[in-house]
Amino acid sequence: MRKILATAATLGLASFGAIVPAANAQASTACNNAYAAIPAGTFVAYSGANCGATRLGSTTSWDSDWGNSSGPFQGRWQDTNNAESLVYKSSDARRVQLFNGTGDDWAGGHTCIRPDEYYMDTLEEQYFTSGVEVENEISSHRFIWSGCGAFLDS
């Protein structure tokens, strides 16, 4: 469903009402608008569900610690362990690998957002390979060309 909505957004909002369930219209519009607005290759995380609350970071690069004061995600908005929705406007076959922990050893529980997922309007009931729920638990990310132990599933 989310993939259909994202595709609809690229075609224009005129057709939106025909396929969006009323209860989800507002939430889906926010993530679709976010997807439409960002440059290709950009990954964005929000502190709230439905691409709401604070936009924690928007980047085409990696960050091995969302809680420190360097890179696209910093402690300013309490980025680490705060993301509840994501947008990824892929420009190639890379997926964004998301980690529960930090560090450039890129180890521990992780999952990925596929290049054709478009966005995740919630991270509830999504889990890292460690079994930890992804919602409010992402602390680092990078782009990878292949492999990943798990994928977010909308």
**Residue ranges in contact with Ca ion by CB under 5 A:** 47, 63, 65, 68, 71, 73, 82, 84, 136
Q: Give the bridge partners for 141, in sequence order.
A: 63, 98
Nearer to Ca ion, 36 or 53 (CB): 53
Nearer to Ca ion, 92 or 125 (CB): 125
Nearer to Ca ion, 33 or 47 (CB): 47
Residue 123 φ/ψ, nearest 5 degrees: -115, 10
Least separation, in Å, of the C-beta of 47 and Ca ion?
4
Least separation, in Å, of the C-beta of 72 and Ca ion?
7
Which pair of tokens denotes residue 117? Answer: 């997922």
Nearer to Ca ion, 8 or 127 (CB): 127
Q: Is 5 helix (H, G, I), strand (E, B) or coil?
A: helix
DSSP-assigned letters across all residues of 108-132: SSEEEE-TT--EES--TT-B-TTS-
Which residue number is nearest to Ca ion in terms of Cβ? 71
Least separation, in Å, of the C-beta of 76 and Ca ion?
10
Place of tokens 């990878």: 144
